Structures are given as structure tokens and as C-alpha cells.
């Protein structure tokens, strides 16, 4: 495998590199300066990465601004993707999937990114209070207006993906082109239904979190000290190696690290190789914060896992396994809200 081995994004005919550069860590959220972030963009493009994924919510728009600066003079080299739905500021009306917000959100993203169109515009999360008909109809209008080329979803449940296809067919809209989901050897839930549905409907699949938010960085080992994580302060308990809820995940991460060593690989190479070996995965989104992080990812792009290594991963972590619901990217409302599970007298 190499970054020059381009892959077709679903049924769009667009050819993308196996890596998409994720810009979530650019700016305040990832504590990465504009200069550092721009250098990462240029280094990734020079290495052969031809797609970038960001979102309006990342550092409240700062990530999009940085990407726009980095792409001056190079915009035509890049398949540029962004997302809408999550809050961009403290105004409660500046979020969601409604036509009212979406028509403003896309203009704000285009301005920050300093471009006249997005190649891919994604619904960052589903929203129960907004009809999917309204959201897809608005996205279809944006395609016809030339503001976006394609649209997709992110962390949609299997049933929501199917419903979106049905709505598009019924209303004769442009159909969604992609789904973005978390996927790694430690987070395999999408293998149950999401990936088969993507195959059925010809969706491109962009996966994020190949290192399971750092659990497969090589630092999470049995009997090792608690690794430092800038994410830990935002999600209490998720990275605590002493928490009972993380015990099985820690053992699995440690066992994968041993397998990587036995195979002459880094754990990062093992994790990346696993993700890109799945035939229904189009590309893996990587989110480096430093040049060292990016270099480690780029080295992993040259790795192809042998069948016996993939078989061993399946033995360590059964296909379809999810250790914690929060790792899936969105806890379903029916699980998160007690009112949806209990009758009220």
C-alpha cells in the first residue's frame, strides 16, 4: 500500500488517497498553532494526501480558517470536506440540521475556508427534531447551486442510513455519497451493519480514530503508568487505565501491542493496516498534532498486513466488538435518555 494508490469514493468517481488529513486538532482544541497546522497540511499534501476533512465546530471555526490559509494557491489539489450540526458558538440557534441554519452554516464555512465550494459537505450528527427530508432537500439544493459537490453523513445509525437513501429516492434528490464513522481494531461496531449497508448503497466510507483516540498509540500497556492525554480533561474516565470499565480495552490494547512487536511493526502501523485492509473502507482520517505524529502515520501508509496478522487481530478482538458505547461516536438517544426507557406516572 502507498498514498499513490488512490481509491474511488463510493460511486462518485472521485479518487482519494488512502489517508484523509483530519483538521480537528488544528487551533485551540488541539493546542496546535496556525503555523504548525499549516506546515502539517503542506507536508501531508507533498507526501501524496489529497483530501482534508474539517468541521465548523472544530475550535469554533478556527480549524476551517487555518485550512483556508493553508490551501491558498493549492485549493485545486485537494478534495475538501467539512461538516455542520454541532455548536459553533454560544448561540443555541447556531447549530443543528435545519434549512435555516444549514443555509447560513455553509456560507460561513465557505468564507472561513476561502473557497467557493466544498467537495463534500457532511451532516456531523443526526438530529431527531429535524426531519431528514428537510436536511437532505437543503443539501440537494446546495448541490444544484454549486455550493457543494457531494454530501454525506457522519455517525448515522444503520436504520438512519437506510432512511436517508429512501428519502432521497422518494424525492428524487441527489443521494448521499459517504458515511464517516469511527473504526479501529478496538472499535469494530460498524462491521455489524454499517459497512454492509455502505456496500449495498455504494457509499464511500471515511473512518476516523484509527488509533482509538490514542489507545493504540503504544502508550496504553498493562502495568504501565497512566499516559498523558489532552483529551482526558474533556471526557472524564474515558482514558483512565485503572477504571474497571476500561479493563478489557486495556488488555486488548496491550495484546495488540505485543502482536505488533512480534510482527516487526509499530502499533500505529498495525492499527492503520487493519483499517485500510477492510474492502469497504475508502480512506482513514488521520489527525496529527505534530510533525512526529504525521511522520508515524505516513510510515504506516506503506504497510500491508499479512492475512495471518489480520486473523490474529480477529482472535484478540472479535469482529463487531465495541468496548464502550461512547467509543462509537454517538450514544443513541434511547440509551442516553432515561425518559425514553421508563414510563412516567
Q: How confident is the model at residue 115 (pLDDT cuts 50, 70, 90)?
A: very high
133 has pLDDT over 90: yes
pLDDT of residue 44: 97
Report which of 298, 332, 309, 208 is spatially closest to residue 261, judged by C-alpha positions.
Answer: 309
pLDDT of residue 224: 87
Q: How confident is the model at residue 4 (pLDDT cuts 50, 70, 90)?
A: confident
297 is a catalytic site residue:
no
% of the chain residues with pLDDT over 70: 98
What's the pLDDT tens digit per position in 228-265?
Answer: 877 666 677 888 989 999 999 999 999 999 999 999 99
6 has pLDDT over 80: yes
pLDDT of residue 233: 63
Q: What is the mean pLDDT of the chain?
A: 95
| Mean pLDDT value across residues 163-187 | 97
Q: How confident is the model at residue 331 (pLDDT cuts 50, 70, 90)?
A: confident
CA–CA separation, 162 vs 154, rounded Å? 13
Q: Which of 57-71, 171-185, 276-290, 327-341 has the lowest mean pLDDT?
A: 327-341
334 has pLDDT over 90: no
DSSP label at residue 16: E
Alpha-carbon 119 to chain mean position: 16
Strand (E) or helix (H) holding 120: strand 118-123
Report which of 252, 263, 221, 260 is spatially closest to residue 323, judged by C-alpha positions.
Answer: 252
| Mean pLDDT value across residues 314-336 | 91
pLDDT of residue 337: 87
Q: How confident is the model at residue 116 (pLDDT cuts 50, 70, 90)?
A: very high
Q: Which of 58, 121, 183, 208 is catalytic?
A: 58
Grid cell, residue 335, equals 440509551
Q: Which value, in Å, is the radius of gyration of the alpha carbons in the chain?
A: 20
330 has pLDDT over 80: yes
Amino acid at each position: 500500500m502507498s498514498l499513490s494508490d488512490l481509491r474511488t469514493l463510493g460511486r462518485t468517481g472521485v479518487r482519494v488517497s488512502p489517508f484523509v488529513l483530519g483538521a480537528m486538532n488544528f487551533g485551540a482544541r488541539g493546542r496546535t498553532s496556525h503555523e504548525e497546522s499549516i506546515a502539517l497540511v503542506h507536508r501531508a499534501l507533498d507526501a501524496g494526501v489529497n483530501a482534508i476533512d474539517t468541521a465548523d465546530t472544530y475550535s469554533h471555526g478556527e480549524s476551517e480558517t487555518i485550512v483556508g490559509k493553508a490551501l491558498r494557491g493549492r485549493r485545486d489539489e485537494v478534495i475538501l470536506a467539512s461538516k455542520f450540526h454541532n455548536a459553533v458558538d454560544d448561540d443555541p440557534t447556531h447549530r443543528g440540521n435545519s434549512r435555516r441554519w444549514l443555509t447560513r452554516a455553509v456560507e460561513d464555512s465557505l468564507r472561513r475556508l476561502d473557497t467557493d465550494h466544498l467537495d463534500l459537505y457532511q451532516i456531523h450528527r443526526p438530529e431527531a427534531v429535524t426531519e431528514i427530508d428537510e436536511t437532505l432537500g437543503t443539501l440537494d439544493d446546495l448541490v444544484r447551486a454549486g455550493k457543494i459537490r457531494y454530501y454525506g453523513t457522519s455517525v448515522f445509525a444503520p436504520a438512519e442510513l437506510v432512511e436517508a437513501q429512501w428519502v432521497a429516492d422518494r424525492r428524487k434528490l441527489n443521494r448521499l455519497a459517504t458515511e464517516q464513522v469511527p473504526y479501529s481494531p478496538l472499535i469494530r461496531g460498524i462491521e455489524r451493519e454499517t459497512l454492509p449497508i455502505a456496500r449495498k448503497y455504494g457509499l464511500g466510507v471515511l473512518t476516523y480514530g484509527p488509533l482509538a483516540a490514542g489507545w493504540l498509540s503504544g502508550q496504553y500497556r498493562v502495568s504501565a503508568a497512566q499516559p498523558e492525554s489532552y483529551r482526558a480533561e474533556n471526557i472524564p474516565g474515558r482514558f483512565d487505565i485503572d477504571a474497571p470499565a476500561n479493563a478489557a480495552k486495556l488488555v486488548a490494547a496491550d495484546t495488540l501491542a505485543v502482536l505488533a512487536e512480534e510482527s516487526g511493526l509499530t502499533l500505529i502501523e498495525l492499527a492503520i493496516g487493519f483499517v485500510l485492509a477492510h474492502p469497504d473502507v475508502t480512506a482513514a482520517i488521520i489527525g496529527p498534532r505534530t510533525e512526529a505524529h504525521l511522520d508515524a502515520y505516513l510510515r504506516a501508509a506503506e504497510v500491508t498486513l499479512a492475512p495471518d496478522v489480520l486473523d490474529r487481530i480477529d482472535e484478540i478482538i472479535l469482529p463487531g466488538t465495541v468496548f464502550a458505547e461512547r467509543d462509537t461516536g454517538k450514544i443513541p438517544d434511547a440509551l442516553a435518555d432515561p425518559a425514553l426507557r421508563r414510563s412516567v406516572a
